[in-house]
Structure 1
């Protein structure tokens, strides 16, 4: 989980970094653009002023030329022609400047063209007028007309210059307005961007601080985990090793040295040094496992022995698994465990199993003796009692006859007890073969075994159709027989027994009695009767061996029958439960895995 949190944190910081870089580049780009706009605006303002200045100079030069020309007309003094003669050159220089600065404005270019035409006409008019003055024709109508035309041309030039100046001033206002707009917007935009950048920096700082705290906390937890792992290795006799595949380097944990009977760092971490501790008889097997590990990059469970420096032999279990880091580095992380105690316990367990097998054989022999040798004296006792009752009963006193009856009852109970114990011992063997069996047939066989009692007590037995299940037939037969016998035995006086056998298939998810069992489906069989019942507090006790809820004078029995039922159901991995109410009857519910 911590790895996922760090991954998210790193991704978040990367995003913050990229956003910050983007904002910085945005600020730089916008600043560059704004400076460029300011530069262009400045150039345009300078151009406007320069155009206006050059136009004013053109007007000034033309006025000087006009004044000099008029003075020459009045005085005929050629010295007054100097301004007129130099004005043309000055006007040409100014026009050259105007064409350069107004080259990008099509309207002004057209105005300059028209203005140039007017100026050419003006100087042509000056030349014609001078010719009239030189020839003393100043009083002629042609002179007057030419002089008047000079005034018209000059007025046209002034008008055109004023138009150009007005256009430049208008453009200057628009440029100043745009320039001012840029100036007004730029600080706000830069402030907002810097504010966002500052917020991102603060968020990054907080994130880095939290990550540092989390890293410190995780480092503390890792330190605790490392110490716990070392203690666990010591207690569990484990040792860890790591093989770095790319560099072919091994590392051993301190406790791995302890398992080998050495101090930590007593020898260099190499495969050859480790193999030197392996038992000679197991070296070839382990070497083959290591070769397979180097090829397949995996080490399955491997068992071998080692010899410590004090000649002690230890049994070792080893395992390794491939891990690939985020940067693609491969390494096999492995573990060795000292299982000498387990091997010794296994050997002891084997010896005990042999003893148990021997005891089981003796028990089987005892069962044979109980079924033959012990029952033979009981049969003879019952035979002699029968003869005494038939031939000598008249010679006995009333007390003698009573004693004889008690001996007969005790012998009969002894024989029943031996039979029940034999049945219980046979049920107690779980190694019977499971066979797919029709439970209806087993139920019918059980009914036949108690047919006389059913007729005697006029019992009614109703049953649902039972399934075919894989069971131990003999034990399920005993289960049905004991449940039927139990219901017939504990019936009410003068009330015919009514026994119902119900079947259904249920799921452990839907039955409240199966909450604590593995999930799955079960065959549910219910035996219910209308007998004398029992207190529910004895619901578990009645399945115990020799457990009886009623005295033997009123109800015969040994207290083994329901124990056989419980053992049979246990052998089938099932559940049996008893529910009862006094004088209302008993219900036995059986669950067998489907």
Structure 2
């Protein structure tokens, strides 16, 4: 039903109706011609049947005349009675040939004619034989009677066969007459139906045209509103539009195209030459080169240039366009002109800001150098002198002084750890990201060796499944393992052997609750421990730089380690999540893409 409505709404519907109407006219003409032909053929068949019957009667008449003449001669011996006999053979042959021609399209009649010819020849032979015997005075009454009897039998056969042929001809005529009557009986029905169909199609076409007129009126109203909306959109969007009719090389500018140039709408004739007068002299050659082949290339790629408005302002314009072809096959080049002056200025501002950021980054790089060299140098001296003081004069210092020295020593140590962690975080952000196909099992083993002393002190047990080969930044993934395992060791329970389980599996993102619902594949690596755990509400905060869940007097640390882990995973376009259960342990889950 929907397809029918679509067809009805299209111009194809009227074309189809036109073609069908022409076809119906030809059809009615064909039916009329057919019936005229049938009438003509019926008349021909009737005449032929009449001629056949007449000729058959004439044929038997000629044979009878020959037989009558022979009998007259037998009785009178007068040769004048033999005249019909002598001419009968030729007359019979002419009449027989005519019947043969008239019935040449009938197999039945042709078959009958063959038999009839046989009987005619037989009859003529007996007539000739009887006449011969009489003329030769060899009259044998018995033989003569026999010939006469055989002649009579042959004559009867001729008469019967001619009657058969007349009956057959009558049957043929009846059959043709019936076919004619059948044809004539359904012809009015066909013509009536075709006229009804034609009337329906013409009515449908009328309704369609009437509907099209209504739709056209509505479309004109909508087009007027659309044009006004487009004009308003051009004003709000600060752009104009233009059209080039390729057939006659004429231009049309929108109202806002004139406004962008500082003129009133339609204040001058739209043309390429008139527009080029506004182009900045330094950009004129560039614009001409860009637009000279646009009608041939069917496309005008975006390009930016300057114009000088009527009021003398210099503005930046961006033009683009392409050819469109309407339903009639006419091509029109349509284009837009946008005022991008503010965009150009903003871009320059961003470039200036980028240069400032680049300068700031250089300063940060210098700060990193200072942090890694100049700041650590006095820190090493402080630690050295305090160490000497503790070794030589610690017992000579008062108890309060000893407490101060212990605090200074602890603060210096924490400061060194803080500087090292800051440098590590900086390297994670700035290091060159060179990806290599690497076996994660070897990186995990390197992390174990790096933490070997701490693992031994804690008597920790680390279990892991086989890890995959991935395209990664090797030193960063190794640092990831070091930080996560170190975090589990740091927050282990007292008097409980730390147990760390590292597992790996291949998953699809859409099957994981925490990942976007895509078909991307990831390796899921989990690091689970039996430490002190944490409240789940802090699961996201622990990855924030310098964020700590515990007092520095309870656990050592700077609050940078997990922030480094998050940055490493992000560098690999992956995800990291934390799940904690107080006094039960925690699970850190990492998702690294397979490619």
From 45, 57, 61, the counterpart of 1:111 = 57
Once the two structures are TM-superposed, the CA of residue 466 in structure 1 deviates from its matched residue by 4.4
Maintained 8 Å contact 1:252/1:269: yes
Equivalent runs, 1:479-558 vs 2, <5 Å: 479-508=480-509, 511-516=512-517, 520-558=520-558
Alpha-carbon displacement from aligned partner over 1:403-432 (angstroms, at most 9, x marks no partner): 554444344333322332232233233x62
Match of 1:354 in 2: 355
For the 8 Å contact 2:510–2:517, the answer to whether it is kept is: no
Instruction: Work out whether 1:396 is the aligned partner of 2:342.
Output: no
Shift of 1:562: 0.7
- The answer to which of 259-268 and 449-458 deviates more is 259-268
| Residue pairs, 1:416-495, within 5 angstroms | 416-429=417-430, 432-436=432-436, 438=438, 439-467=440-468, 469-495=470-496
Cα gap change, 1:263/1:473 in structure 2, threshold over 3 Å: closer, same or farther? farther
Partner Cα distance (1:447, 1:270) in 2: 77
Q: Note the C-alpha offset of 1:169.
A: 11
Match of 2:237 in 1: 236
Structure 2 Cα separation of the partners of residues 5 and 276 of structure 1: 49
What SS does structure 1 have at the residue aligned with 2:302? strand
442 and 179 in structure 1: CA distance in 2 versus 1, 3 angstrom threshold: closer
Query: Cα deviations across residues 150-176 of structure 1 (Å, max 9, x unaligned)?
Result: xxxxxxxxxxxxx9xx99999999898
Aligned positions, number: 497
Contact 2:244/2:333 (CA < 8 Å) preserved in 1? yes
Distance 1:171 1:365, change over 3 A: closer
Q: Please give the residue correspondences for 1:15-94 in structure 2 after superposition, counting only pairs within 5 Å.
A: 15-34=16-35
Cα deviations by residue, 1:310-331 (Å, 9 ceiling, x for unpaired): 2211222222323344444333
1:428 is paired with a residue whose SS is helix
Question: Shift in Å at residue 268 of structure 1?
Answer: 2.0
Q: How does 1:238-257 map to 2 (within 5 A)?
A: 238-257=239-258
Distance across 1 between alignment mates of 2:333 and 2:314: 27
Distance of aligned partners of 1:296 and 1:404 in 2 relative to their CA distance in 1, 3 Å threshold: same
Aligned-pair distance for 1:278?
Answer: 1.2
Q: 1:208, CA displacement in angstroms? A: 5.0
Distance 2:310 2:513 in 1: 61
Question: How has the CA–CA distance of structure 1 residues 204 and 440 changed in structure 2, closer, same or farther, with 3 Å as cutoff?
Answer: same
Change in CA separation of 1:212 and 1:396 when aligned onto 2, cut-off 3 Å: farther
Distance 1:215 1:459, change over 3 A: farther
Local SS of the residue matching 2:11: helix
| CA-CA distance at 1:380 after TM superposition | 5.0
* Cα separation, 1, equivalents of 2:540 and 2:388: 44
The answer to whether the Cα contact below 8 Å between 2:49 and 2:170 also exists between their aligned partners in 1 is: no
- Contact kept, 8 Å, 2:324 with 2:331, in 1: the verdict is yes
Partner of 1:571: 571
In the alignment, is the contact (CA less than 8 A) between 1:103 and 1:109 conserved in 2? no
Question: Equivalent residue for 1:414?
Answer: 415
CA distance 1:209–1:389, shift in 2 (3 Å): farther
Task: Give the drift of 1:358.
Answer: 1.9
Rate the CA distance shift 1:512–1:228 in 2: closer, same or farther, 3 A. Answer: farther
2:49/2:173 contact within 8 Å kept: no
Cα separation, partners in 2 of 1:113 and 1:271, compared to 1, 3 Å: same
SS in 2 for 1:196: helix
Aligned to 2:153: none
- Contact kept, 8 Å, 1:315 with 1:343, in 2: the verdict is yes
Q: Deviation at 1:30? A: 2.5
Matches within 5 A, 1:49-198: 105-111=51-57, 184-198=185-199
Change in 2 beyond 3 A, CA 1:506/1:348:
same
2:592 is paired with a residue whose SS is strand
Distance 2:8 2:329 in 1: 17
- Cα gap change, 1:33 to 1:436, in 2 (>3 Å): closer
Q: Please give the alpha-carbon distance, in whole angstroms, between the structure 2 residues aligned to 1:349 and 1:113.
A: 121
CA drift of 1:231 comes to 3.2
Q: 1:344 to 1:9 in 2, by over 3 A?
A: same
Aligned-pair CA distance for 1:352: 0.8
**Per the alignment, do residues 295 and 482 of structure 1 end up closer, same or farther by CA in structure 2, a change over 3 Å counting?**
same
Partner SS for 2:289? helix
User: 1:102, 1:108 within 8 Å by CA — same for their partners in 2?
Assistant: no
Distance change >3 Å, CA 295–CA 186, structure 1 → 2: closer
Three-state SS of the structure 2 residue aligned to 1:265 is coil
Contact 2:319 2:335 (C-alpha < 8 Å) held by counterparts: yes
| 2-structure distance, mates of 1:221, 1:531 | 71
CA distance in 2, matches of 1:183, 1:213: 45
Distance 1:186 1:298 in 2: 62
Please report how far the alpha carbon of residue 577 of structure 1 lies from its aligned counterpart in structure 2 after TM superposition.
1.8
> Partners in 1 of 2:8 and 2:275 — Cα distance?
38
Q: What does 1:298-337 align with in structure 2 at a 5 Å threshold?
A: 298-337=299-338
1:265 aligns to what? 266
Counterpart for residue 100 of structure 2:
none
Which residue number corresponds to residue 582 of structure 1?
A: 582
8 A contact 1:535–1:580 mirrored in 2: yes
Distance, in Å, in 1 between the alignment partners of 2:8 and 2:418 is 74
Tell me: CA distance 1:174–1:288, structure 2 relative to 1, closer, same or farther (3 Å): closer
Alignment RMSD, CA only?
4.2
Output the CA distance in 2 between the equivalents of 1:223 and 1:458.
84
Aligned equivalents of 2:252, 2:234: Cα separation in 1: 16
Q: Which deviations, in whole Å up to 9, do the C-alpha atoms of 1:224-263 show, x marking residues without a partner?
A: 5544433333233222223333332232222222222222
In 1, Cα distance between equivalents of 2:222 and 2:526: 56
The CA distance in 2 between the partners of 1:468 and 1:33, in whole Å, is: 86
Q: Is the 8 A contact 1:371 1:422 kept in 2?
A: yes
Contact 1:102 1:109 (C-alpha < 8 Å) held by counterparts: no
**1:583–1:293 CA distance, 2 compared to 1 (3 A):** same
Q: Which consecutive residues of structure 2, in runs of 5 or more, have no partner in the other structure?
A: 69-162
Q: Distance in 1 between matches of 2:206 and 2:463?
A: 81
